[in-house]
Structure 1
């Protein structure tokens, strides 16, 4: 996958299949802050996906990659070092193509590098175990690479959400086909370039194709030559992938929608908590699956929370992500901005009380994909706009009378990705965290994600876990080898 310099007008990228660039960069990619064309990417589909799958299969079956943990570690460590050397330029490119504020982009690049280093460390320690269930009988259990892994990367956090799948897949010995989101393909190309060009990486181990549509991604899901799929995105698309993958019975790692509830108890400092909740709701302009969506506050503090949270959201500074003073950047593109704005407007029309209306800003920002944060109060947790994941800067405020109601309200959702609990009562915090049906629960914090710690969802928020050691399970198979050598000196 070729890239030009990181100057915003000269970028271009093509597919990378079987160790070589292919295709023509013709599809434009725009800066969502102003509509400026940053560069062009190749627009592929099923043909490129099929070629990439075939190359990955050959590399898995014929190269020494799957059996070379020291090589895998070396390649990953060298990739991390190359990314560290380019961290500033990568963060700027991420901000320009995705729109997120530069501080978040820098944090994401740092997190991605840390994640690559983490899985480089694990590459040389993927142990099995041996049991002697009966005298003279040995059962050896090995953890082996699953085979060819397809990785479908979203646009909202294209660095971390790529490496948290690619890292364990490569560490385990899989070969891979990566399909980045068209909106951030230029960035993913720059991120992957040092890896793809590594002189010790066998051709076909990592293949990348881009597309504006979804035909190639659909082939990854349905192909019997793909052994595992990792997808991060909406629950609706995740269900489609599950249906497409059913015939091949491939392994699935799916992180899907979220509807994170933040439970704020009566002893919390509302003045201190409200700005942190505003930040949690507007991370990547609200376009993160773990972003705060619902704030549940004890009824005795409802009035104070209404004022504090509305004020904190309204005080956030919208602007181009590249401006260090900006706190909330644009959404990924104007089409998404318009769709989210329509959902927010409908929610405001139905809510019991509109505390902050949000909407498209006036002036220069109207030319970009900007959307001001919105906040409503509503009593019915079953309302559509409470139950749906509105992927933008939109928050619903609710109230509860006691701990039991807080838990019941928070669990009233088909999702189960993340939640947070805000209280100074340590026993209550842990008690409530255990009762919430979510894969991650933060106490007096939100959106804290670490390379070493598994994340994933309950219920319709997905299958499997990424980050941490357990991510290897999504890219490996367990094999039991039985043998009965007997016991030395025993009678035959």
Structure 2
């Protein structure tokens, strides 16, 4: 592993070529960044100035939008996803910044009269210094869905991205740091190849809140490490999303949509469609339709015009995911589409589809972060819900039916933080998203996402009352 201060290559997962370099930091950089963020937060110029914060956010959105095309190309080269997905990620990020800019000047509290002449005023205040630990799979969008509400609330921030996408993270933040009005030290970036900086952010008393997106195992460790300081946590963790398809659904219409939801970012997405549950009478038709669509998927470099799915993030991920998929194929009732490593160059995997009935099998329970789909049958609404809820996760699910009442019955019975009806994977800045159970705590997006970066303060005063 490179030492602190050494230059590290960022590699294109499609071909192993060097995209650029970054300087690896560590504990010392994290300490300096936290100190800078604490100084910036202590001054009311930022934390108590919602009009300034709105202006900065709007300026950032405009600057980011102007750089959409070069940033999308950099994102594809560093992450591997197809260019259309990268463009969409930048566009959604611009929209999210503008949404939180709109909320920045509407951080309303309320006042209560407890008794005659006794008043309690409730103010919404920024939590303080926010530590943001950002993954590599959607590095622009997942950065901004934490950083934009943090800044709108009046927090300052220290950002620790995944090393695989350090370059695009730095490029996105350059569009922010050039905006007039952003105080020095309000936004800080620490790049590293190890974990020293991230661990220090979690444990440091001067960091008031951690926002993390990643695996359930790492989220659990963060909770343990943050316990001594009792800091606030927002954790979006693993998922094993089920798509429940009823017998009145149009199989030919929805099969390509399900494949698209399963293979976005090469299956490296927490809300990816991983289990497809189909009412028994339609199971053969769905199996045939999914097989047709999957076998036609064009896997290739994300910048290629014909590519529908790019590589995994790196060779280590390719090897780990491929090994788990091979184990799943060996244990599954039926291998419908047998994916694998298509060639020697790049971190590519072609998609795999297995059909299986035992939902306790590891590949029905474990989040395998890659292009694996499991097809299962069910009999009734109750059977579908029992199968879908039989998991430690609870991030997302979808229901596919023409019966509106059935869709709502099933959606209400599912133990997931997000349920789509006749859709899958749609996330919008206006609507809160997050998981039940081991899929996380807190919420991102929406007003609820902003509230995770706030504290509620009561100011009480007894002024007496006139008795006329």
Q: Is the 8 Å Cα contact of residues 235 and 441 (structure 2) preserved in structure 1?
A: yes
3-state secondary structure, aligned to 2:228: coil
3-state secondary structure, aligned to 1:247: helix
Q: Is the 8 Å Cα contact of residues 58 and 204 (structure 1) preserved in structure 2?
A: yes
1:197-244, Cα deviation, whole Å (9 max, x unpaired): 334211110000100001100011111110000000000000010000
1:115-153, Cα deviation, whole Å (9 max, x unpaired): 011111111110100011222111100110000000001
Give the aligned partner of residue 443 of structure 1.
421
Give the aligned partner of residue 478 of structure 1.
456
Alignment equivalent of 1:232, drawn from 192, 198, 213: 213
TM-score calculated relative to the size of structure 1:
0.93
Q: Give the alignment of 1:15-30 within 5 angstroms.
A: 26-30=7-11
Give the aligned partner of residue 469 of structure 1.
447
Number of residue pairs matched by the alignment: 465
Give the aligned partner of residue 265 of structure 2.
284
In 1, the alpha carbon distance for the partners of 2:242 and 2:285 equals 18
1:2-46, Cα deviation, whole Å (9 max, x unpaired): xxxxxxxxxxxxxxxxxxxxx956100001111110110111111
Q: Is the 8 Å Cα contact of residues 5 and 25 (structure 2) preserved in structure 1?
A: no
Alignment equivalent of 1:50, drawn from 7, 31, 34: 31
Q: Give the alignment of 1:271-310 within 5 angstroms.
A: 271-310=252-291
Give the aligned partner of residue 100 of structure 1.
81
1:301-330, Cα deviation, whole Å (9 max, x unpaired): 111111111211111110111112210000
3-state secondary structure, aligned to 1:431: helix
3-state secondary structure, aligned to 2:131: strand
Give the root-mean-square deviation of aligned CA atoms.
1.0
Give the aligned partner of residue 416 of structure 1.
394
In 2, the alpha carbon distance for the partners of 1:465 and 1:199 equals 30
3-state secondary structure, aligned to 2:234: strand
1:84-107, Cα deviation, whole Å (9 max, x unpaired): 111111111111100000111110
Alignment equivalent of 1:196, drawn from 162, 170, 177: 177
Alignment equivalent of 1:385, drawn from 363, 381, 398: 363
Q: Is the 8 Å Cα contact of residues 423 and 444 (structure 1) preserved in structure 2?
A: yes
Give the aligned partner of residue 8 of structure 1.
none
In 2, the alpha carbon distance for the partners of 1:484 and 1:235 equals 48
Point out where structure 1 has 5 or more consecutive residues left out of the alignment: 1-22
Give the aligned partner of residue 157 of structure 2.
176
Q: Is the 8 Å Cα contact of residues 286 and 392 (structure 1) preserved in structure 2?
A: yes
Q: Is the 8 Å Cα contact of residues 103 and 324 (structure 1) preserved in structure 2?
A: no
Give the aligned partner of residue 465 of structure 2.
487
Point out where structure 2 has 5 or more consecutive residues left out of the alignment: none
> Given the alignment of the two structures, is residue 351 of structure 1 paired with residue 306 of structure 2, yes or no?
no
Q: Is the 8 Å Cα contact of residues 266 and 301 (structure 1) preserved in structure 2?
A: yes
Question: Where in structure 1 do 4 or more consecutive aligned residues deviate above 6 Å?
Answer: none
In 2, the alpha carbon distance for the partners of 1:218 and 1:286 equals 28
TM-score calculated relative to the size of structure 2:
0.98
